[in-house]
């Protein structure tokens, strides 16, 4: 069956609609998340338990052992969503205040998909060391920290330093979250085309935070560095590129990949694509960023991930016409959406449930394996290599995988059985979803007016 080709105008109009509604809905609701009690308040006498004088008892216990804060408070389920607004979505350095709607949205996804109580914290700490110090200061409040929309290469330094200094999980979703879902998608895509991922040549088109960490995770999963080629705005990375010393000085993480990868020493984009089995595009909005003629240089049945938003580096039908067997994008209106929301809510659910002290790339791989297995058991094919966000049953399974890897690596404060972990994750996630539905049915979360009315009354 041939794929229907909507016009560019139709696609752009469809992509613009959520933005128009977002302006109106954000004003209508005045934000997306709020704080609600989780304990009983039968009458005002209960405040003697929850506040003074009763609260002094757990305070004394925590003073003896700060780790007890994970058991006497909700710290075990609190996550900070931290950003300086220096690289927000596709908007660039728009500042912390302008980044706040994104962080609120992240907190909403954390709660609805993972049952995690997440708090948006945008900061004016633009110096990397100041940001790490800020994370140290807020650590006693949280069970985990999600870094978000921080410019490259600062994001690498902040993540690495925070992981060294803090005793709670810290991760950068643009790095590890994207890498997790890309890994899972590639794993199944290679199965669909009948190839061994560990023997394949993989091109990363774009050398920002997402693709750098994606390459690192693939290498930890067994893909040889020599089989990977990274492409930045100047072309392929290779060990003797004229600007290699400048790269080494400005971005040591990118430099490490330049010297480890590209065994063929490809110096042009055409050379990089020639004989490749897959390309992962995480660069800039297209179309025209990845060209059909480059895909024609790849091996038979190539895999194309064109994940730029709102417009992929190449339209899916263009990639298919050029020979691509499996195509994935970052958009929900095409098959095979590569969506970070498949990763971070469940992975944090798992590491929070065992009160983990850190989060590792191995946990991302374990979660990616669970994602891939779920889709494979449902029946993978060219247009289904990853679960969709509405297949919520995958989230508890992914949480269990991350939690078990935490226990295996010796960083979990508590150890639970697989069954205990699964039942806990299911209950917490179901409660979050059902609570939202109950609030909506009761009118405590009010329904928005019809689209035309809300746009007229609350639009720009």
- Enzyme catalytic residues: 51, 106
What integer is the mean pLDDT of 54-73?
A: 97
Name the band, by pLDDT with cuts 50, 70 and 90, for residue 115. Answer: very high
Residue 238 within a domain? no
Residue 64, in any domain of the structure: yes
What average pLDDT score do residues 427-435 get?
A: 96
What confidence score (pLDDT) does residue 18 get? 79
Range 248-263 average pLDDT: 95
Residue 347 has pLDDT above 60, yes or no: yes
Number of folded domains in the chain?
Answer: 1
The model carries a pTM of 0.93
Band of residue 459 on the pLDDT scale cut at 50, 70, 90: confident
pLDDT, residue 17, reads 76
Q: What is the 3-state secondary structure (H, E, C) of the chain?
A: CCCCCCCHHHHHHHHHHHHHHHHHHHHHHCCCCCCCCCCCCCCHHHHHHHCCCCCHHHHHHHHHCHHHHHHHCHHHHEEEEEECCCCECCCECCCHHHHHHHHHHHHHHHHHHHCCEEEEEECCCCCHHHHHHHHHHHHHHCCEEEECCCCCCHHHHHHHHHHHHCCCCEEEHHHHHHHHHHHHHHHHHHHHHCCCHHHCCEEEECCCHHHHHHHHHHHHCCCCHHHEEEEECCEECCCCCCCHHHHHHHCHHHHHHHHHCCCCCCCCHHHHHCCCCEEEECCCCCCCCCCHHHHCCCCCCCEEEECCCCCCCCCHHHHHHCCCCEEEECCCCCCCECCHHHCHHHHHHHHHHCCECCCCHHHHHHHHHHHHHHHHHHCCECCECCCCCCCCCHHHHHHHHHHHHHHHCCCECCCCCHHHHHHHHHHHHHHHHHHHHHHHHCCCCCCCCCHHHHHHHHCC
Would you say residue 102 lies in a domain?
Answer: yes
- Residue 3: is its pLDDT beyond 60? no
Judge whether 215 lies within some domain.
Answer: no
Is the pLDDT confidence value at 126 over 90?
no
Q: What is the residue range of 169's domain?
A: 21-173
User: How much is the pLDDT for 23?
Assistant: 87
> Across the chain, what does the average pLDDT equal?
94
- pLDDT at residue 4 greater than cutoff 70: no
Q: Is residue 105 included in any domain, yes or no?
A: yes
Average pLDDT over residues 349-360: 97
Q: What is the CATH number of the domain that holds 89?
A: 3.40.50.10380
Asked if residue 131 has pLDDT above 50, the reply is yes
Q: Please indicate, yes or no, if residue 76 is contained in any of the structural domains.
A: yes
pLDDT-based confidence at residue 1 (cuts at 50, 70, 90) = very low
**Is position 181 within any domain?**
no
The answer as to whether 68 is a domain residue is: yes
Read off the pLDDT band of 371 (50, 70, 90).
very high
- Position 12 scores a pLDDT of 66
């Amino acid at each position: 069956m041939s794929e229907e080709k909507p016009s560019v105008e139709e696609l752009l109009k469809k992509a613009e609609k959520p933005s128009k509604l977002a302006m109106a809905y954000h004003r209508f609701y005045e934000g997306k998340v709020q704080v609600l009690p989780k304990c009983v308040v039968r009458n005002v006498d209960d405040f003697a338990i929850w506040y003074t004088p009763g609260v002094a008892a757990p305070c004394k216990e925590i003073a003896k052992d700060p780790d007890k804060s994970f058991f006497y408070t909700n710290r075990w389920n609190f996550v900070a969503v931290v950003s300086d607004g220096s690289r927000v979505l596709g908007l660039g350095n728009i500042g912390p205040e302008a980044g706040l709607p994104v962080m609120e949205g992240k907190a909403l996804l954390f709660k609805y998909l993972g049952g995690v109580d997440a708090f948006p914290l945008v900061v004016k700490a633009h110096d990397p060391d100041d940001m790490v110090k800020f994370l140290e200061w807020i650590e006693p409040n949280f069970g985990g920290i999600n870094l978000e929309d921080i410019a490259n290469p600062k994001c690498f330094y902040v993540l690495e330093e925070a992981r060294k200094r803090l005793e709670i999980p810290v991760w950068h979703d643009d790095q590890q979250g994207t890498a997790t879902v890309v890994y899972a998608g590639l794993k199944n895509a290679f199965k669909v085309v009948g190839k061994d991922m560990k023997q394949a040549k993989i091109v990363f088109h774009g050398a920002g935070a997402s693709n750098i960490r994606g390459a690192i995770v693939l290498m930890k999963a067994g893909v040889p560095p020599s089989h990977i080629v990274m492409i930045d705005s100047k072309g392929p990375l290779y060990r003797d590129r004229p600007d290699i010393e400048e790269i080494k000085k400005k971005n040591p993480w990118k430099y490490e990949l330049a010297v480890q990868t590209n065994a063929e020493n490809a110096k042009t984009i055409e050379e990089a694509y020639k004989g490749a089995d897959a390309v992962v595009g995480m660069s800039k909005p297209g179309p025209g960023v990845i060209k059909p003629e480059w895909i024609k240089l790849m091996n038979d049945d190539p895999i194309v991930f064109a994940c730029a938003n709102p417009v992929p580096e190449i339209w899916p039908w263009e990639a298919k016409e050029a020979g691509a067997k499996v195509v994935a994008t970052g958009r929900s209106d095409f098959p095979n959406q590569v969506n970070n929301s498949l990763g971070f809510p469940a992975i944090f659910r798992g590491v929070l449930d065992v009160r983990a002290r850190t989060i590792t790339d191995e946990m991302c791989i374990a979660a990616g394996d669970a994602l891939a297995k779920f889709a494979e058991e449902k029946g993978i094919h060219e247009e289904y290599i990853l679960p969709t966000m509405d297949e919520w049953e995958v989230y508890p399974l992914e949480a269990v995988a991350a939690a078990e890897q935490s226990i295996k690596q010796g960083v979990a404060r508590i150890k639970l059985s697989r069954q205990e972990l699964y039942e806990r994750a299911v209950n917490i996630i179901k409660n979050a979803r059902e609570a939202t539905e109950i609030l909506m049915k009761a009118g405590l979360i009010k329904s928005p007016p019809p689209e035309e009315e809300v746009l007229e009354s609350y639009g720009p």
